[in-house]
Amino acid sequence: MPSADPLLTVRNLRIAFDGIETIRGLSFDVRPREVLAIVGESGAGKSLTARALLGMVPRGATRSGTIEPDLAAQRGRRISLVPQDALSALSPVHRVGDQLAAAVRSVARVPRREARRRAVAALDRVGIPDAERRARAYPHEYSGGMRQRAVIAMATINEPDIVVADEPTTALDEEHRDQVLRVLAERSEAVGAALVLVTHDMEVVRAHADRVLVMYAGRLTELGPADEVLTRPRAPYTAGLLASLPEHAPRARRLPFLPGTPPAPGTLPPGCAFAPRCPLAAGPCHETEPEPQQVEERTLACHHWPELPHPATELFHE
Ligand SMILES: Nc1ncnc2c1ncn2[C@@H]1O[C@H](COP(=O)(O)OP(=O)(O)OP(=O)(O)O)[C@@H](O)[C@H]1O
């Protein structure tokens, strides 16, 4: 994995609604050509963070901190989005090929015919059969999987530096999820883009990520190389997420879990937000929120990380 200068640096990002912070001081980098997965349970702030990279902050929200460089003005050119729902990324009233060709012509002075040729080639590369004909169809004439492939074609056609994918396969059935994720990873790599992949699925992290950012209640819990984080988590919350993977589950309990639920914004406990669910929580965990610290290649926020047993997933299989 290359470790050149970051493409993007996020420092002390905070996003609040009505004065209640949901992203609470988040810092990380996106490196060239890497696949950075952002994981965490529902409500952790994954989507808000990912969309903030594109300058897309919901109306009514206030944002502080820095994201540099600011690529918002170059959306579609240097940074692009693959959202959960392909229909929201495609216009229902224009043919798919025309939309792709328009995207090409928005950044490059090429004749219509050439833009059209590139559009068909892009559809072909994401595995749309009979791309020439399908380019003339409307989004509603595509299946869900094909639509998501078309969105991937759109997000990569101008060879951006960063593709942000926000739970890109949630709307698809299981059969198509892996295929679409593979196409997304393959196309991002082919155009030399970093891929920021929002998911709640550790299996997806394992299959695709170079690095993983684990979020909890709007903060960084753990960030590091995916293979290391998955095989030797250092934060209890990461271990809890991993304990939910089938191979870590004890035989008797096929559906292992992380007990409890994350706190809602505005209802955080004092101290570490994960403390009420954490088997290691004691003393300072109930008083002060741990700050992210660097431990070798890992960044992690936990008062008790040195005490984490190995394998840590056992903590959650009592
Ligand atoms: N438009 C909004 N108005 C008010 N609160 C919001 C808005 N969007 C997000 N939030 C709050 O911010 C928190 C984080 O939301 P976000 O969508 O980033 O979570 P997530 O980790 O992506 O979860 P999920 O996996 O469910 O999509 C949520 O708890 C939600 O309450």
- For the chain, the domains span 8-212, 232-316
- The CATH fold assigned to 8-212 is Rossmann fold (3.40.50)
Reading the block at residue 309, the tokens are 């047993």
User: Using 50, 70 and 90 to split pLDDT, how confident is the model at 32?
Assistant: very high
User: Using 50, 70 and 90 to split pLDDT, how confident is the model at 113?
Assistant: very high
Helices 174-190 and 144-156 cross at an angle (nearest 10°) of: 10
Whose CA is closest to atom 25 on ligand 1?
A: 42
The Cα 214–Cα 239 span in angstroms is: 11
How far apart, in Å, are the Cα atoms of 53 and each of 18, 21, 145, 179, 203?
21, 17, 25, 26, 24
176 vs 121, which has greater pLDDT? 121
Rounded to the nearest angstrom, the distance between the alpha carbon of 20 and the centre of ligand 1 is 12
Q: Say if residues 301 and 288 touch (Cβ distance below 8 Å).
A: no
Per-residue confidence (pLDDT) for residue 313, from 0 to 100? 79
* % residues pLDDT > 70 (the chain): 95
Per-residue confidence (pLDDT) for residue 249, from 0 to 100? 55
Per-residue confidence (pLDDT) for residue 253, from 0 to 100? 47
* % residues pLDDT > 90 (the chain): 79
Q: What is the pTM of this model?
A: 0.94
Q: Is any atom of ligand 1 closer than 6 Å to the C-beta of 265? A: yes
The Cα 121–Cα 117 span in angstroms is: 6
**Residue 115, C-beta contacts closer than 8 angstroms, at least 6 positions apart:** 101, 102, 104, 105, 108
Question: What 3-state class would DSSP assign to 303?
Answer: coil
Q: pLDDT tens digits, residue range 292-303?
A: 999 999 999 999
Q: Ligand 1 test: best mutation among 21, 41, 42, 84, most atoms within 8 Å of CB?
A: 42
The Cα 70–Cα 222 span in angstroms is: 25
Per-residue confidence (pLDDT) for residue 309, from 0 to 100? 85
- Does the pLDDT value for residue 255 go beyond 60? no
Rounded to the nearest angstrom, the distance between the alpha carbon of 19 and the centre of ligand 1 is 15
The full DSSP string for 84-125 is: S-GGGTS-TTS-HHHHHHHHHHHHS---HHHHHHHHHHHHHH
Q: Which residue has the tokens 């952790």?
A: 44
**Residue 143, C-beta contacts closer than 8 angstroms, at least 6 positions apart:** none
Q: Ligand 1 test: best mutation among 18, 21, 22, 41, most atoms within 8 Å of CB?
A: 22
For the chain, give the longest Cα–Cα distance: 68
- Does the pLDDT value for residue 96 go beyond 70? yes
Q: Is any atom of ligand 1 closer than 6 Å to the C-beta of 19? A: no
How does the average pLDDT of the chain come out, rounded?
92
User: Using 50, 70 and 90 to split pLDDT, how confident is the model at 4?
Assistant: confident
- Does the pLDDT value for residue 175 go beyond 90? no
Q: Is any atom of ligand 1 closer than 6 Å to the C-beta of 43? A: yes
Rounded to the nearest angstrom, the distance between the alpha carbon of 205 and the centre of ligand 1 is 21
Q: Ligand 1 test: best mutation among 17, 199, 261, most atoms within 8 Å of CB?
A: 17
User: Using 50, 70 and 90 to split pLDDT, how confident is the model at 247?
Assistant: low
Mean of pLDDT values over 31-48: 96
Per-residue confidence (pLDDT) for residue 257, from 0 to 100? 65
Q: Which atom of ligand 1 sits closest to the CA of residue 50?
A: 18
Per-residue confidence (pLDDT) for residue 250, from 0 to 100? 52
- Does the pLDDT value for residue 260 go beyond 60? yes
Rounded to the nearest angstrom, the distance between the alpha carbon of 45 and the centre of ligand 1 is 6
Rounded to the nearest angstrom, the distance between the alpha carbon of 250 and the centre of ligand 1 is 32
Mean of pLDDT values over 219-247: 91
Q: Which atom of ligand 1 sits closest to the CA of residue 49?
A: 18
Mean of pLDDT values over 280-299: 96
Q: Ligand 1 test: best mutation among 18, 41, 47, 167, most atoms within 8 Å of CB?
A: 47
User: Using 50, 70 and 90 to split pLDDT, how confident is the model at 72?
Assistant: confident
Mean of pLDDT values over 195-200: 95
The Cα 148–Cα 154 span in angstroms is: 10
Per-residue confidence (pLDDT) for residue 287, from 0 to 100? 96
Residue 92's Cα: distance from chain center in Å?
A: 26
**Residue 159, C-beta contacts closer than 8 angstroms, at least 6 positions apart:** 191, 192, 193
φ, ψ of residue 140 to 5 degrees: the values are: -70, -15
Q: Is any atom of ligand 1 closer than 6 Å to the C-beta of 14? A: no
Q: Is any atom of ligand 1 closer than 6 Å to the C-beta of 16? A: no
Reading the block at residue 214, the tokens are 């684990």
Q: Is any atom of ligand 1 closer than 6 Å to the C-beta of 83? A: no
- Does the pLDDT value for residue 252 go beyond 50? no
